[in-house]
Structure 1
Amino acid sequence: MPKIGVGDPSPNIPRSRLKEPSSRRGILGINIPHRKLEGISMMSSSISSTTLQSWRERSPSSYTLKIQNFSQFLKSTPTSDDKYQSGLFSSGGYKWRMIVYPKGNDKDSGNGFISMYLEIDRTSLMSTPPSEVFADLRFLVYNKKENKYFTIQDVESKPFNTLRTIWGLPQVLQLDTLKDPENGYIFEGDQCEFGVDVIVAPPPTKWEQIFFNERPSNAKFSWTVKNFFEVKEDPLSSNIFSMGGRNWVLKLYIKGETRRDGKWLSTFLFLAGSETMKEDEKIYTRAHLRVLDPFGNNDITKELLCWHNNSKSGWGRPHFMSIAELREAYLDKEGTLSVEIELEVVSTTNFYPII
């Protein structure tokens, strides 16, 4: 019988102990609102429109920069465009550098803040496909007093490519907040610690592509059944025909698909037995089924909309037309029934990689 188808949580600490960084839009596309998040402890996660701030115990997963004398570190950067570039490190199959502006990147609205960025190594980018790499970035500053890392990240993955090799945050933490030993970022004399997590999104390895072929070739099939009411076979199957790159069979259930009362002609479209479908493949068809009027232009037409999800399922119209109406007006003088199907749309799906 055919299948019928129609058509890091942490304890709170007082706000006064740690200053929450305010910020504004930078030229590197980072948009952090000025307004502080009232009523949310610095020890819990805080979300702005583009960044997520939180605290955690786990150390940076990709790279750590430990500064033994932060005061001297501040004095050293004017000789290198106010920034410090780390050594190369690997993450996700690519080479990276962490960039720290201890006085802030004033070209990116970061003056008075710690600015932190990540740069992908161009040679690594060019030698390892694909040519564009998406990565989630999480910047960290260690707080000795809490024995946790202040963490800030952009909520969106960033695309690294040959035209844009650097992404980051111009306003990670206020410099005055970091420099005040009472806040815990400067510890054991003049030490501090920065870090980064780089989570590289792997390129897609499996996908599917679906095409909808409108007005396919060989879009019409006609079938005549002589002496229709003398046919013993039920259902009655047409010859195999090709439409839209697939082989099909029409089936007529003379006593009706439900076989209950024999008052209806049922029409169904099946994939031919030679057709196989890939696992989880679906084929969409939109077609018109017709019983032709042998004496005029009063054809009976019904639309068929369906997704074939396996090669053994038929889709069609269980009550296409009544047997009484068919007998009265849709057989010619020799008792011949003429049926037609016209395919308007058929889909094909390609799965990658091709196995």
Structure 2
Amino acid sequence: MSRKLVLYPNGKVKSHGTAYISLYLEIAATEGLPLGSEVNMNIRFFVFDQIRNKYLSIQDVSGRVRRFHNLKTEWEFDQLLSYDTLNDLSNSYLVDDSCAFRVEVFIIKCTGKGECSSMIKEPQSNYFTWRIDNYTDMKDQIYYSEHFTVEGRRWKLSLYPKGNGTGVGTCLSLYLCLGESETLPPNKKLCAKYKLRVKDQIHGNHHEKTVERWFSDPSIVYGIYEYFPLRDLLDASKGYLVLNGLHIECIIDAVSILF
């Protein structure tokens, strides 16, 4: 079954993507697909940062499985990248009037085999806290935490204090990444289910999101553009920023290897 990418540089109007680039994955030929059958896929799109030589991963928060069949031959990301983000020279997605895209497709076979999962059983062994001082003084676009180890693998967090992608200027963007020294054997993918949390240091009303992602390459970052609105973060009455200090937590609940 062949597949192709379909790019709408001006957005796909009927899908309300006019302020964004729209990118679709399409089954190019369905004659080999029996009537009534379907193919389940997990899809992730990427945009290449041509100066930093790394890909930015773009995926909806749910990371849900997409089902392709004869009557549904394409799945889309209508708001792949905003024009403002694309044209921002500091992002390096558009260089010499060219940009590069990539798609990863994981075909899910319902065989009940080929996946090894482990729930994290020991409390605190899956838990990492990143304490950031002088948050409002952070000037760089991106910051990285120190490495931490869960299930024998090295991880780190990355933070865009002024936002990234669709969150630029309005949201804190937060990511979980594999450590630089982490490698996976060919044809193997690592899936992690984890929580990203910004602590409310006064009221205990923490801001938390649960995420499930496939990891395959330490050079690719996986995260949430619009993780937390900056207006709420900077509102001292809400308790997230105390004495200009921020506490971020990551809890990895489960790790799976697909082979």
TM-score tier (shorter): 0.5 to 0.7
TM-score, normalised with respect to structure 2:
0.54
1:309 Cα deviation from its structure 2 partner: 2.6
What is the match of residue 277 of structure 1? Answer: 184
What is the match of residue 225 of structure 1? Answer: 132
Distance in 2, Cα, partners of 1:3 & 1:247: 19
Distance in 2, Cα, partners of 1:233 & 1:216: 37
State the SS of the aligned residue for 1:255.
coil
What is the match of residue 4 of structure 1? Answer: 58
In the alignment, residue 323 of structure 1 is paired with which amino acid?
L
Distance in 1, Cα, partners of 2:256 & 2:155: 14
Distance in 1, Cα, partners of 2:115 & 2:216: 14
- The correspondence of residues 226-305 of structure 1 with structure 2, limited to 5 A, is 226-258=133-165, 261-305=168-212
What is the match of residue 200 of structure 1? Answer: none
Question: Are the equivalent residues in 1 in contact too, given 2:145–2:157 (CA < 8 A)?
Answer: yes
1:260 Cα deviation from its structure 2 partner: 6.8
Question: Are the equivalent residues in 2 in contact too, given 1:265–1:319 (CA < 8 A)?
Answer: yes
In the alignment, residue 3 of structure 1 is paired with which amino acid?
S
What percentage of aligned pairs have identical amino acids? Answer: 26
Compare CA radii of gyration and give the structure with the larger one: 1
What is the match of residue 342 of structure 1? Answer: 251
Question: Are the equivalent residues in 2 in contact too, given 1:4–1:314 (CA < 8 A)?
Answer: no
The count of residues paired between Structure 1 and Structure 2 equals: 150
Structure 1 stretches (4+) deviating beyond 3 angstroms?
330-333
Q: 1:257 to 1:271 in 2, by over 3 A?
A: same
State the SS of the aligned residue for 1:325.
helix
- The correspondence of residues 22-171 of structure 1 with structure 2, limited to 5 A, is none
Matched, 1:210 2:119: no
Distance in 2, Cα, partners of 1:316 & 1:235: 13
Q: Which string of whole-angstrom CA distances, capped at 9 and with x for unpartnered residues, describes residues 87-139 of structure 1?
A: xxxxxxxxxxxxxxxxxxxxxxxxxxxxxxxxxxxxxxxxxxxxxxxxxxxxx
Question: Are the equivalent residues in 1 in contact too, given 2:163–2:169 (CA < 8 A)?
Answer: yes
1:314 Cα deviation from its structure 2 partner: 2.0
Q: Which string of whole-angstrom CA distances, capped at 9 and with x for unpartnered residues, describes residues 281-330 of structure 1?
A: 11111011100001011100101111113232222211111111000124
Distance in 2, Cα, partners of 1:303 & 1:314: 17
RMSD: 2.0
What is the match of residue 227 of structure 2? Answer: 320
Distance in 1, Cα, partners of 2:179 & 2:167: 27
1:209 Cα deviation from its structure 2 partner: 4.4
Distance in 2, Cα, partners of 1:322 & 1:214: 31
Question: Are the equivalent residues in 2 in contact too, given 1:241–1:249 (CA < 8 A)?
Answer: yes
Q: 1:269 to 1:224 in 2, by over 3 A?
A: same
Query: 5+ residue gaps in structure 2?
Result: 1-54, 63-112
1:3 Cα deviation from its structure 2 partner: 1.1
**Greater share of strand:** 2
What is the match of residue 149 of structure 1? Answer: none
In the alignment, residue 178 of structure 2 is paired with which amino acid?
L
Distance in 2, Cα, partners of 1:332 & 1:284: 31
Distance in 1, Cα, partners of 2:167 & 2:199: 26
Distance in 1, Cα, partners of 2:239 & 2:118: 32
TM-score, normalised with respect to structure 1:
0.40
What is the match of residue 161 of structure 1? Answer: none
Distance in 2, Cα, partners of 1:314 & 1:210: 23
1:254 Cα deviation from its structure 2 partner: 1.1
Question: Are the equivalent residues in 2 in contact too, given 1:216–1:345 (CA < 8 A)?
Answer: no
Distance in 1, Cα, partners of 2:167 & 2:256: 34
Query: 5+ residue gaps in structure 1?
Result: 8-207
